[in-house]
Structure 1
Amino acid sequence: MKRLFLKDIAKELNVSKTTVSLVLNNKGDENKISQDTQQRILAYAKEHNYVPNQLARGLSRGKSETIGLIIPNISDVFYARIAGFIERQAKGLGYTVIFSSSYEDPQKEGELIKSMLDRQVDGLIVASTQKNQSEIDALKNINFPFVLIDRHYPDRETDYVIVDNFEGTKKATEHLIDQGRNKIGFVTLKPGLEVMQQRLVGYQDALINAGIKPDKNHVSEVSRENFMEEMGLEIKKLVESSSSVDAIVFSTHYLAAAGLRELKRLNVEVPKEVAVVSFDELNAFDLTDPPITSITQPASEIGRQAVDILMDKMEGKTNGSIERILETKLTIRKSCGVA
């Protein structure tokens, strides 16, 4: 079906395009357009299923009624959850969300920010690669409304919503210690993201507080690009070396999934031989045998607060930076040896 435009209605009814626009935006009376003309325009638009151009309408009021959302990967279950909550929250406020994935590429992230600005979005929500400080500074310098989620730049004052990564892994490690585990491994990504560093420090802090000396041989790092291939060697080192572990904390859900596959391949029994905890979770973690203990992040609250802060910024309701650090929750399942 051919889309109907304002000019088409104007031509068919022999009136001006401006007249059609005013009537369809409920401004006919105040502009003294006759009732007969208004009724003809409204009836014709309804009969032909006219759909207004939201972007054009928004721009006429100085707004596009769109929000840009840049995340590392929309297929990642954690970011997909956040994106879904942001979309629903924004829709309820009359905004459309434009999604893009940076795939942890700082150059692509920079290009996406520029593209979003070119599309005249009203604001941005970004889970940054943490390697684009100049782009963040540029947004601040032009007073463009944006909120960082999941990651932020610690030495920059910006609006952000993150979780307490340090406390999350600290509590998980403390729980393992309480269960009698004292040779706890940690599998994480190679250095780059501050959130991963905070999770590592939380794990180490729990060990030190319990009088357990951190063992560098119990910390394994894999690359984001090749973690599936590298995981086999790292798990083998953790469970088959002279200083083998009796528990493993994985710094992300996808590392946990890959690690569990390797433990199964090596016939290592979970939790009898090795207890397992994952930072964040997959939907299947409560269905596996055994179900996997997880550090759960409040995805819905991250999305809700990010949109609320952005709206306040776009409407000029707040001054200064708004910083929110949300708590995680340890969801205990049988992979730690307890129900």
Structure 2
Amino acid sequence: MSLKELAAHLGLSQTTVSRVVNQSPGSRRISPETQQRVLAAADELNYTPNALARGLRNKHSQTVSVIVPEISDGYSTTVLSGIEDALLIAGYFYFVVSHRHRPELLRKYPRLLLSRAVEGIIAVDTPLEEDLPIPVVSVSGHLRHKSVVNIELDHTLAAHYALEHLRSLGHREIAIIKGQRFSSDTQSRWQAIQRVARKLGITLHPKLVVELEGTGIGSEPGRAATVKLLGRQVQFTAIFAFNDVSAIGAIQALRDANLSVPRQVSVVGFDDIASAATNAPALTTVRQPLQEMGRVAAMTLLQLLQGESAGTLQNPIRVLPSFVQRNSTASVLQTARAQEPILFHETRG
């Protein structure tokens, strides 16, 4: 049923009916009896206001969009959970689009979203090449447009947690699995790892550095990277992986090569996704506060939508990692006892 038909059914003007069903400020001048009659009829006849049309008229659609690389277990879904928490409280509707790192979608989506009357965009680990006429908040995107507010992790502290942990266990031959080149965090995290390694006196051998390849999701890229690493025939006692899913893939590859984790090789992940704690062995990892990053991103976007200028906000907004030691790391002394039964550390976190 259209607004025109509902108004005709009630014998009222379209303006009166519109004010009541949309709960606009002008509805306060309409008698409670009339309001009740309109709402009862709308409910009985299943009338639903056209939010998109209303948004186009008053430029407030109460709708935002979130752009993510993919929707899968781990990083994106945890960030989305935090975004959802904040937007639901504020009464905003949101929808999600994923680009799977396809250049044509990265170019197309921003303008397509504008045509859908979204008021703002949250870009998660997604590069945006152009300035947009609506507020944009970036999570781990490292965008340097003046109109974009960035939510970023302290990668230096994150690298320190992981490398200092491995060094304290006696590891010196540490392999690094870097992220894919298209990931926004790859360069920042790699630079942080290099800085911290120099400070701690850890030498990063070029042959012990491999890079995730391809756009596949899940553990396969990490498994393939570790197979390449093993093929170089260079000794290492630990792996620091770009994220938890690649760390899990590394553990799979090590097992396929008859190497035990952590008895022969220790593995550290990054993110602390839900499956990190239930993996076998449970994964030692740098915990990135992904849900909190999503919540902060949504609250920042709401500030911008309420008239706050991006130039007046802290930018970037930095969040702090923490460290969770579980069962996938052990001391070099322990790894030397390759013939002894596997000894698991007590899980915490």
When the two structures are superposed, what TM-score results if normalisation uses the length of structure 1?
0.86
* 20-29 or 89-98: bigger deviation: 20-29
Deviations 1:24-54 (A, max 9, x none): 3364562xx5666544323322333433333
Counterpart check, 1:209 vs 2:199: yes
Aligned to 1:45: 42
* Shift in Å, 1:112: 0.8
Asked whether the 8 Å contact 2:222–2:245 carries over to 1, the reply is no
SS in 2 for 1:198: helix
* Shift in Å, 1:91: 1.6
Aligned to 2:316: 323
* Residues in 1 aligned to 2:191 and 2:32: alpha-carbon distance in whole angstroms: 70
* Residues in 2 aligned to 1:28 and 1:116: alpha-carbon distance in whole angstroms: 31
Aligned to 1:183: 173
* Shift in Å, 1:174: 1.3
Aligned to 1:62: 59
Q: CA RMSD in A?
A: 2.6
* Residues in 1 aligned to 2:270 and 2:310: alpha-carbon distance in whole angstroms: 34
* Shift in Å, 1:128: 4.9
* Residues in 1 aligned to 2:293 and 2:145: alpha-carbon distance in whole angstroms: 21
Aligned to 1:173: 163
Q: Percent identity?
A: 29
Asked whether the 8 Å contact 1:6–1:21 carries over to 2, the reply is yes
* Shift in Å, 1:57: 3.7
Asked whether the 8 Å contact 2:136–2:147 carries over to 1, the reply is no
Deviations 1:149-198 (A, max 9, x none): 11113586731101122321232011001011111101123434452122
When the two structures are superposed, what TM-score results if normalisation uses the length of structure 2?
0.84
Asked whether the 8 Å contact 1:189–1:224 carries over to 2, the reply is no
Counterpart check, 1:220 vs 2:210: yes
- The residue identity in structure 1 corresponding to 2:329 is C
* 167-176 or 18-27: bigger deviation: 18-27
Aligned to 1:258: 249
Aligned to 1:243: 234
Asked whether the 8 Å contact 1:73–1:101 carries over to 2, the reply is yes
Deviations 1:220-252 (A, max 9, x none): 123133697765564245446553110001102
SS in 2 for 1:23: helix
* Shift in Å, 1:299: 1.4
Asked whether the 8 Å contact 1:190–1:221 carries over to 2, the reply is yes
* 78-87 or 199-208: bigger deviation: 199-208
* Residues in 1 aligned to 2:88 and 2:225: alpha-carbon distance in whole angstroms: 44
* Residues in 1 aligned to 2:59 and 2:191: alpha-carbon distance in whole angstroms: 46
* 66-75 or 252-261: bigger deviation: 252-261
- The residue identity in structure 1 corresponding to 2:103 is P
Asked whether the 8 Å contact 1:188–1:255 carries over to 2, the reply is no
Change (3 A) 1:237 1:39: closer
* Residues in 1 aligned to 2:174 and 2:4: alpha-carbon distance in whole angstroms: 69
Asked whether the 8 Å contact 1:186–1:200 carries over to 2, the reply is no
- The residue identity in structure 2 corresponding to 1:109 is L
Paired residues in the alignment total 327
SS in 2 for 1:245: coil
* 84-93 or 40-49: bigger deviation: 40-49
SS in 2 for 1:159: strand
- The residue identity in structure 1 corresponding to 2:84 is E
Deviations 1:313-333 (A, max 9, x none): 122233515321111111111
- The residue identity in structure 1 corresponding to 2:109 is L
1:333 to 281, 305, 326: 326
- The residue identity in structure 1 corresponding to 2:8 is K
SS in 2 for 1:203: helix
* 213-222 or 121-130: bigger deviation: 121-130
Change (3 A) 1:99 1:192: closer
1:83 to 80, 84, 107: 80
* 273-282 or 16-25: bigger deviation: 16-25
Change (3 A) 1:106 1:129: farther
* Residues in 2 aligned to 1:93 and 1:159: alpha-carbon distance in whole angstroms: 19
Change (3 A) 1:12 1:283: same
Change (3 A) 1:156 1:271: farther
Aligned to 2:142: 152
* Shift in Å, 1:262: 0.8
Change (3 A) 1:224 1:189: farther
Unaligned runs of 5+ in 1: none
Counterpart check, 1:22 vs 2:19: yes
Aligned to 1:287: 278
* 231-240 or 62-71: bigger deviation: 231-240
* Shift in Å, 1:7: 2.2
